[in-house]
Amino acid sequence: MSEDPEEGMLSWDESVFRDERVFEIDYVPETFQHRESQMRTLQYTLRPATRGSRPLNAMVRGPPGTGKTTAIQKLFGELRAETSDVHTVRVNCQMNATRYSVFARLFEGIFDYEPPASGISFKKLFGQVTEKLVEEDDVLVVALDDVNYLFYENEASDTLYSLLRAHEEYSGARIGVIVVSSDPSLEVIDELDSRVQSVFRPEDVYFNVYDREEIAGILRNRVERGFHDDVVSTTVLDYVAEKTAESGDLRVGIDLLRRAGLTAEMRASKVVEKRDVDEAYETSKFVHLSRSLESLSESETELLEVIAEHEGKQAGEVYEEFQAVSGLGYTRYSEIVNKLEDLGIVATNYAEVDGRGRSRELHLEYEPEAVLSRLE
């Protein structure tokens, strides 16, 4: 009997996915693998909050895609289940990179509605947050996720100072802080003002890069929950794990599985093949770049476009083009270059220029086409 060519094809109302949400960026897995020691340390720092005391502060460090945000989400979920007297607020500093916007998110987390869009000073905002905590005799635990973005905007010290010193201005205010950094080159403590260093003595929790076997195990768990049986073979899963290990970012692998599944569906195939993974990888490998670009302001985006169009040019030449587009001065230009370098999007190096000595050159860490296409 000949095989039916339609047997391996999806019908219009079928899907390879059992639960596609398993592959979304904010999905919190029931089983959080290979982070037991980190979770124990974080639980230790927050234990005082369950008894109504100020928790210990913590510093969570590690490269992107190593489970830091998931750990915070799991931890806060546990804390909310334990007691109703503790407010937990995770602030995405990539999107809230000023002291004011951080406290606006804290206000929202405590009052369950956003503060007025204008007409309220930081002092008043700060006062309303702390007064509410004191009035209700509650503890607040703040996670400044991607705190490195506060450093890029020179807002980290002021933000932490306000949080750590709140009890001095409002007696009885109990606030614990978890700072989460995804920038391996950032020395968090060293970059803070001395006034903050004197009071910020956090427990240090490091999230190392997952090894090849750990990646394969985590992705296997996602496949079992997210795909129907036999959609992703062991061979294909191992191939995805290999690609993920090369990037060092688990998010690449999770995104890759989802996109490969969607690619297979576009072919009306009931199974994901290596060719689907290869096609999807051309997008998934830029997960970190896409996420970084989301946080850029209009002027930062304009400079990145100029750099992409003038790859390898001297900093002075790039500034002239940027100034013509934006009208901004050299000081702001230099600040943006430094931020883009901190984000790992731009690299700078010095070269000898005839008659001018050493001059800085600007290079993209990615292909110009990849950057420009994601800015559109």
Which residue numbers belong to the known binding site for ATP? 66-70, 210, 222
Q: What is the pLDDT along the chain (376 residues), one digit of tens a residue?
A: 445 555 678 887 789 999 999 999 889 998 899 999 999 999 999 999 999 999 999 999 999 999 999 999 999 999 999 999 999 999 999 999 999 999 999 999 999 999 987 779 999 999 999 999 999 999 999 999 999 999 999 999 999 999 999 999 889 999 999 999 999 889 999 999 999 999 999 999 999 999 999 999 999 999 999 999 999 999 999 999 999 999 889 999 999 999 999 999 999 999 999 999 999 999 999 988 888 888 888 999 999 999 988 887 788 888 899 999 999 999 999 889 888 988 889 888 876 655 555 677 888 888 889 888 888 7
* Adjacent-strand bridge partners of 17: 227
Select 211-289's CATH number: 3.30.1330.10, 1.10.3720.10, 3.40.50.10890, 1.10.8.60.
Answer: 1.10.8.60
CATH class of 36-206: alpha beta
Q: Which helix (H) or strand (E) holds 145?
A: strand 139-145
The terminus-to-terminus CA distance of the chain in angstroms comes to 53
pTM for the full model? 0.86
Parallel, antiparallel, or unpaired: how do β-strands 58-61 and 203-206 relate?
Answer: parallel
Task: State the Cα–Cα distance between residues 148 and 242, nearest whole angstrom.
Answer: 29
Which residue numbers belong to the known binding site? 66-70, 210, 222
**Residue 226 has what pLDDT?**
97
Backbone angles phi, psi at 124, to 5 degrees: -70, -40
The answer to whether 239 and 230 have CB atoms below 8 angstroms apart is no
CATH class of 296-375: mainly alpha
Angstrom distances, CA of residue 330 to CA of 292, 305, 323, 336: 23, 17, 8, 10
What are the residue ranges spanned by the domains of the chain?
36-206, 211-289, 296-375
Determine the residue type at 361.
E
Task: State the Cα–Cα distance between residues 148 and 188, nearest whole angstrom.
Answer: 8
The answer to whether 226 and 23 have CB atoms below 8 angstroms apart is yes
Within 8 A by CB and 6+ apart from 263, the residues are 272, 276, 279, 280
Q: Where are the alpha helices (DSSP H) in the chain?
A: 36-46, 68-82, 99-111, 122-136, 148-152, 156-164, 166-169, 188-191, 194-197, 212-226, 234-247, 250-266, 274-284, 287-293, 298-309, 315-326, 330-342, 368-375
